[in-house]
């Protein structure tokens, strides 16, 4: 390991390795995307997608190897034993850092299908990136603006219909889709600005998860409630990881039943939407308490270790 090196040098080494890893694996995915684009048969496209998922698995695995090189990280993970590599999952999680995706794909890569994200349809036209996301079967969705809906009410429901058609391909392969329901990374400033009732979380937004459940809820076998905590990280978590300043990552995974969403009621009834929001708020309240307990446990164990070290001296 290289964690004896100064932080700035570790940041340079880890950053360079992460860029190289992403560039190589991303290039392989894009090349596969070209083959997939030219493959006329559905069975052939499915096989290409399976190969692309292996390239994403490789990316996640190499990210883990880079972490082991630059830091000695203790992974405290619970809940993996209940997962199925051949299942269909909708994953929700709190969001603390740009590092969350790398940490979660690394930990979950051998236990559930590779994580996918709902993306705006405009991203498919971005050179290289759009092709790579399409090759990985990332679901592209169309979200019509409220202004357009006012001008043309006939467009109501078209977004959901389009997304459902895009998600039909997930019947062929086990799939995991992740949604960061807070909509943004947590900071104390954002929490205070939105007057969040939680200590460690922003207010969850129900619209995205309701849309996903409306589009393909019957395909999901479970809802995975994932909680991630970096108990000893500096304020900038990603930079702290890349400089070897993070020594512990805590992840808790809870498999929940998939809630049913009646899209007609959800998009037409304010009371129905409020009821769904209350369900999500309750999950977030429990998650906030879980984070508090995990941080308290870490603080207590750290204090005990320091006391033992002082007695030893």
Q: What is the CATH number of the domain that holds 226?
A: 3.40.1130
Calculate mean pLDDT across residues 116-132.
80
186 within a domain of the structure (yes/no): yes
| CA–CA gap between residue 231 and residue 98 (Å, rounded) | 16
Give the pair of three-digit tokens for residue 7.
Answer: 């932080």
Range of the domain at 225: 73-311
pLDDT of residue 3: 74
| CA–CA gap between residue 278 and residue 147 (Å, rounded) | 28
Instruction: Judge contact between 130 and 124, C-beta under 8 A.
Output: yes
1 within a domain of the structure (yes/no): no
241 within a domain of the structure (yes/no): yes
| pLDDT top residue among 202 and 302 | 202
236 within a domain of the structure (yes/no): yes
9 within a domain of the structure (yes/no): no
pLDDT of residue 134: 83
47 within a domain of the structure (yes/no): no
| pLDDT band with cut points at 50, 70 and 90 for residue 304 | low
* Whether the predicted model's global pTM rises above the 0.95 cut: no
Instruction: Judge contact between 57 and 108, C-beta under 8 A.
Output: no
Nearest to 212 by CA among 149, 141, 278: 141
Give the residue ranges of DSSP H helices in 127-205.
Answer: 129-135, 146-151, 158-167, 188-193
């Amino acid at each position: 390991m290289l964690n004896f090196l100064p932080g700035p040098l570790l940041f340079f080494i880890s950053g360079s390795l992460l860029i190289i890893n992403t560039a190589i694996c991303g290039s392989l995915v894009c090349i596969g995307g070209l083959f997939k684009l030219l493959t006329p048969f559905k069975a052939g496209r499915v096989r290409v997608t399976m190969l692309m998922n292996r390239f994403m698995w490789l990316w996640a695995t190499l990210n883990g190897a880079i972490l082991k090189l630059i830091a000695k990280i203790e992974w405290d993970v619970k809940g993996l034993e209940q997962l199925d590599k051949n299942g269909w999952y909708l994953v929700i999680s709190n969001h603390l850092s740009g590092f969350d995706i790398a940490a979660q794909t690394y930990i979950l890569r051998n236990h559930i299908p590779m994580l996918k994200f709902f993306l705006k349809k405009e991203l498919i036209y971005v050179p290289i990136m759009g092709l790579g996301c399409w090759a990985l079967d990332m679901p592209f969705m169309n979200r019509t603006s409220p202004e357009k809906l006012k001008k043309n009410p006939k467009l109501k429901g078209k977004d959901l219909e389009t997304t459902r058609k895009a998600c039909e391909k997930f019947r062929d392969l086990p799939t995991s889709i992740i949604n960061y329901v807070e909509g943004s990374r947590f900071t104390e400033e954002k929490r205070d600005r939105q007057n969040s009732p939680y200590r460690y979380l922003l207010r969850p937004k129900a619209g995205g998860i309701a849309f996903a459940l409306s589009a393909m809820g019957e395909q999901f076998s479970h809802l995975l409630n994932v909680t991630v905590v970096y108990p000893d990280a500096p304020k900038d978590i990603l930079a702290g990881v890349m400089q070897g300043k993070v020594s512990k990552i805590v992840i808790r995974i809870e498999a929940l039943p998939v809630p049913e969403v009646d899209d007609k009621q959800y998009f037409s009834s304010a009371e129905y939407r409020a009821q769904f929001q209350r369900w999500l708020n309750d999950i977030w309240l429990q998650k906030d308490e879980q984070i508090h307990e995990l941080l308290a446990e870490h603080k207590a164990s750290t204090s005990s270790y320091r006391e033992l070290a002082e007695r030893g001296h």
